[in-house]
Structure 1
Amino acid sequence: MTQGDEHHVLLSADTNGDGKPDVWVTDTTGDGTADLYQFDTTGDGKVDVTVVEGAEEPGTDRLVVEGDGGHPQEV
């Protein structure tokens, strides 16, 4: 999920009731605010969608950088 001591999981949640976390909210910069969101949308224990704050594209503040969660990405 995350690597190194600089990453702090602020929240993990079991949203589908199977007893395992499937959403993780992480602070990768250590500033106390979340900037990495990871989701297991299939329940297989693997991250399917990763969203980061501060996307490089003008007019966006979030960018899906891995997976699509079964939904088509907007172009």
Structure 2
Amino acid sequence: MMACDWRERVLLAARWLGAEARGVELLAEHVTCMAHWLAPAGITLVQGDAAQADLCTGPRRGGECAPADASACPLRVS
């Protein structure tokens, strides 16, 4: 098994805190090596460019990602 680096640690921490965790990795070899180790924790790791990745997991409104209950978002600015 390849050593877990900072990228996987962030994903594991997100899952531990109850968040959905989806990683986007530029290197296909890294995805091939690590994805099956992260899957049992409910973490998805895909190959791609994070700057271009669609990370929306909820519904969309007007083409924008819109969580089902935006008032529950802890990062919401009122």
Same fold (TM over 0.5): no
User: Which structure has more RCO (C-alpha within 8 Å, separation ≥ 6)?
Assistant: 2
Which of the five TM-score ranges fits, normalised by the shorter chain?
under 0.3
TM-score by length of 2: 0.25
Higher Cα Rg, which structure? 2
Q: Which is helix-richer, 1 or 2?
A: 2
TM-score (norm 1): 0.25
